[in-house]
């Protein structure tokens, strides 16, 4: 199984010019813990996670170092960089720029290795410099939970998944950036968040009526977009 078989696509993104407040609201509204940052050409330039927003002067959570520790061990360059990240209001200043990425044809064991070695929760999938998807720890668990015959996915299942996702992407009611679909031996598992029973049922019907689908497992979580906190 490869990254393209489990990645979430399209990906919710933001711009370097967005404000920190806008991104914080964005994360809450979309029930995600990080958002990739792309430039006007669609090139991936960074990622903003909850961790990047934890140490903020406007929250009173900025890092405080003992004066002697600062004087002896912390370089001025490091302190300046921390100040920018803790005080700036722009995404471009707080985002993580050194990214770990993979291609669509990367094997899932490679993705798992990247997640483990770098202690990260997600790997952006990049093709020809453009962001085409994202694979998270949850997506690997979804693939494992849906597996019935091993992780060698036949071409027919790959095409079936592509057909389902392509159909959903043009439906105005489908929040595809919050969904994932895995296919194994013609059996479809739908994962992710949905805001209504109507959308939940429509997603099931869309999968069930796709030629080649043998069965559909609904693993969707119903969430309220209006008052989730």
Packing angle, helices 108-118 and 137-146, rounded to 10: 140
Least confident of 27-36, 71-80, 127-136: 71-80
What mean pLDDT do residues 170-199 have? 89
Domain extent, residue 203, equals: 149-229
Instruction: Give tens-digit pLDDT for 46-85.
Output: 999 888 888 776 766 666 665 544 555 556 666 677 777 7
Cβ–Cβ < 8 Å for 8, 139: yes
Please determine, for residue 23, whether its predicted confidence score (pLDDT) is greater than 70: yes
**32 and 113 fall within a common domain:** yes
CB contact at 8 A, 102 and 110: yes
Q: Are 11 and 125 in contact (CB under 8 A)?
A: no
Domain match, 140 and 208 both: no
Q: What CATH number does the domain containing 175 carry?
A: 3.30.1340.30
Regarding whether 36 and 142 lie in a shared domain, the answer is yes
Are 28 and 106 contained in the same domain?
yes
Are residue 109 and residue 2 in the same domain, yes or no?
Answer: yes
pLDDT band at 125 (very low <50, low <70, confident <90, very high): very high
Residues 202 and 157 in one domain: yes
Give the other-Cβ count within 10 Å of 51's Cβ: 12
Instruction: Compute CA distances 15 → 7, 40, 196, 203, whole Å.
Output: 21, 8, 29, 30
Alpha carbons within 13 angstroms on the beta-carbon side of residue 109 total 2
pLDDT value of position 229? 35
Q: Which pLDDT tens digit goes with each residue over 152-171?
A: 555 588 889 989 999 998 99
Total count of domains within the chain:
2
* Mean pLDDT for the stretch of residues 91-110: 91
Which has the minimum average pLDDT: 42-51, 83-92, 166-175? 83-92
Is there a single domain that holds both residue 62 and residue 140? yes
Q: Same domain, yes or no, for 20 and 125?
A: yes
Residue 106 above 80 pLDDT? Answer: yes
Model confidence at 145, pLDDT cuts 50, 70, 90, reads: confident
């Amino acid at each position: 199984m490869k990254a393209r078989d489990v990645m979430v696509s399209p990906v919710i993104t933001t711009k370097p010019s967005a404000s920190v407040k806008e991104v914080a609201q964005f994360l809450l509204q979309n029930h995600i813990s990080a958002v990739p940052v792309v430039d006007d050409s669609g090139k991936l330039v960074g990622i903003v996670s909850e961790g990047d927003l934890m140490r903020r002067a406007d929250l009173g959570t900025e890092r405080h170092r003992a004066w002697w520790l600062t004087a002896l061990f912390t370089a001025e360059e490091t302190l300046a960089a921390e100040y920018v990240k803790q005080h700036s209001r722009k995404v471009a200043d707080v985002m993580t720029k050194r990214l770990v990425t993979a291609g669509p044809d990367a094997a899932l064991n490679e993705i798992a290795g990247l997640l483990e070695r770098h202690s990260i929760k997600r790997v952006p999938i990049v093709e020809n410099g453009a962001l085409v998807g994202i694979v998270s720890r949850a997506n690997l668990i979804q693939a494992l939970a849906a597996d019935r015959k091993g992780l060698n996915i036949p071409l027919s299942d790959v095409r079936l998944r592509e057909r389902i996702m392509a159909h959903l992407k043009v439906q105005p009611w489908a929040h595809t950036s919050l969904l994932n679909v895995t296919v194994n031996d013609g059996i479809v598992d739908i994962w992710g968040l949905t805001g209504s029973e109507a959308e939940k049922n429509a997603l099931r019907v869309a999968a069930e009526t796709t030629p080649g689908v043998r069965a559909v497992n609904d693993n969707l979580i119903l969430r309220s977009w209006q008052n989730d906190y």
